[in-house]
Structure 1
């Protein structure tokens, strides 16, 4: 009898193992993203017996998109789920499973605009995981020391950053810079420059109705101001900075101000941070006193590949990660902004991550990139824009000259059909 029972147990374990599914999840990794992912999927793995395997991608969204597009065009069966940027839905929709029916409850709990951004031709092609909007990080200890206020305009930021930088260097703090941000030639520069231009009243590059608006005096004024920053209040190397390079300078205590996303708040208060407890955040500056701030709408979603041979398990993981339990865990672990409206009133989140309810103001002022009017051409439009901006920042021509050339390029693209 004992042998029979032992054999039955072994058989049951073998059957259980055979039924377990291993799903692959491709995602860009920024900061401590690997640890956060592992913590997030634990409850799902324990509940289902399945395994979630992370396929780490570069943190650059430009590099991620290029690799995703290659895999999907080839009908790659090895990747089951893709973590996608908010702007990619129109370009990759044909490769993803429609999640409308399986995620009805989740969709109803989300901010409507976020669900709309992931819906293409009536199909919900990705589920929101967290939203994003950048803010101005500032050293409250240094502002207090030098009797400065949080700048409300970009001109004030330029002046305040320079005054504190010069005063600190005179006292021996030779490595301090006034402002670090993302000025490399990639999607992050599109975000930074869009915020500047929009806050100056210079439009959104391409407007919702498809009109090309980028070549105007206000847009040029915003970019010409930014061109004064490298080598002045920002290191020359900022022209090669992405999010992590900026955070590295900031977190070692070598910057007064930083433009970055919410993930940097959690890490900036970590045990290994030189600025823990010394900083706060505010909405990004405006173009003029009393004007409006503009923060690029970001955010990440999860999509299920239609080429996956493990779609049932993949959909299970996607709906779990997009649901209330996982979104709350992510907010507590990584200070990521939930897409579920109710979580902004969650007492535990407010206590452990007080920045999240405060960030709602930043998020509500967010401006979308022009992916909707440009559709499948968005990445080429963005590439031409960030290159024009980078040329301006590098001193290769004035903003007026670069924006005039950009307008001609975009008109030609539009004439050929977005």
Structure 2
């Protein structure tokens, strides 16, 4: 007799902390058994999560029936026809994607196919030491140039007051498919550049690419710690909490958790939009989607669970119980319940980001390999193993070869 339990895979991260309770409620309501596997991720472990996400799509007997999948991976799996098209089931249940942003719909769809149901829309923003800004009379930076100058002034002032191991700014700089590639995307987009064009071809580097990467490197070389090339979201969150960093750039979900669980640090902190470049602000978007491998033997049950987990009622509960601020549902994000639950600055940034955040990673039929090319090469530039010119030309050549396959 075949397996009857829907196996679920998810990243073990603060915003998804309510998932076990949601699965228990689903089981009680439907009688459908579930089993959750989830993993903590960071530098050196993120790749394991990516492997978990991809392997089930290639298996005739997948380990997981419902996967909250990175959209870069999902688009590649969709190209290979390894993902169940949810559109027919959605039509049968009178469901649509009207309550999410256009960028999220693009991540979820290929043509008329729906590859997954959205749950969160994670995007970049700043978390800064508001108490230190007030103490030293600093203003929130609005551009990358201002970020560098404000962070440098803050760093000098704090060090002059006796804290030598203090840095003005930290962000993701590590190699791989989910660290420096994430951060550089916000710089690149703000200069009006892309890694891959609308036709799926690698973009030849021009002055915008050079300006974006040089700006990123200049900031890190001036006001960031020497180990920046080994850092991602766990390390920068740790340093901010420890008082080692004055400004960090990561995602609103992280900040909602900090503000909701550490009152003392929350009192000293503020949240702001990512700085702008010549083309404006370009907060990077991460919009993982609940998706079903085409070979799953429990597609109907998995889809029923996906509908439950992405319902407005469940997303609202996740927001209130797990501080899952950056929900995919625009109605939930704009709700009065969120007004009451979240601090106004982090909520305002999340709502603005929902209107402007775009996919700034290199999404293509090549999947995460393209992200790894960018991430590894940008990391080499951060660690001064290659020049800006060598990095950008290397990325272009590698992406060109990859996309020919």
What residue is the counterpart of 2:356 in the other structure? Answer: 365
Would the alpha carbon gap of residues 155 and 113 (structure 1) be closer, same or farther in structure 2, given more than 3 Å must change?
A: closer
Summarize the alignment of residues 206-245 of structure 1 with structure 2, pairs less than 5 Å apart: 206-213=196-203, 215-230=205-220, 232-245=222-235
Distance (whole Å) between structure 1 residues aligned to residue 361 and residue 155 of structure 2 = 36
Would the alpha carbon gap of residues 211 and 403 (structure 1) be closer, same or farther in structure 2, given more than 3 Å must change?
A: same
What residue is the counterpart of 1:349 in the other structure? Answer: 338
What residue is the counterpart of 1:13 in the other structure? Answer: none
Render the CA deviation track for 1:252-303: whole Å, top value 9, x for unaligned: 3321111111211222124446522222222111235xx5111112112101
Summarize the alignment of residues 258-407 of structure 1 with structure 2, pairs less than 5 Å apart: 258-272=248-262, 275-288=265-278, 292-332=280-320, 333-353=322-342, 354=344, 355-369=346-360, 375-407=364-396
Point out where structure 2 has 5 or more consecutive residues left out of the alignment.
none
Q: Is the 8 A contact 1:138 1:258 kept in 2?
A: yes
Distance (whole Å) between structure 1 residues aligned to residue 258 and residue 35 of structure 2 = 28
What residue is the counterpart of 1:8 in the other structure? Answer: none
Point out where structure 1 has 5 or more consecutive residues left out of the alignment.
1-19
Match of 2:86 among 76, 99, 105: 99
How does the TM-score come out when normalised to structure 1? 0.86
How does the TM-score come out when normalised to structure 2? 0.88
What residue is the counterpart of 1:81 in the other structure? Answer: 66
Distance (whole Å) between structure 1 residues aligned to residue 179 and residue 204 of structure 2 = 18
Distance (whole Å) between structure 2 residues aligned to residue 83 and residue 232 of structure 1 = 38
- Give the paired residue count: 392
Distance (whole Å) between structure 2 residues aligned to residue 39 and residue 106 of structure 1 = 26
Q: Is the 8 A contact 1:230 1:239 kept in 2?
A: no
What residue is the counterpart of 1:165 in the other structure? Answer: 155
Distance (whole Å) between structure 1 residues aligned to residue 77 and residue 244 of structure 2 = 40
Higher relative contact order (CA 8 A, sep 6+): 2
- Max radius of gyration: which structure? 1
Distance (whole Å) between structure 2 residues aligned to residue 143 and residue 285 of structure 1 = 16
Q: Name the SS for the 1:176 alignment partner.
A: coil
Distance (whole Å) between structure 1 residues aligned to residue 199 and residue 32 of structure 2 = 46
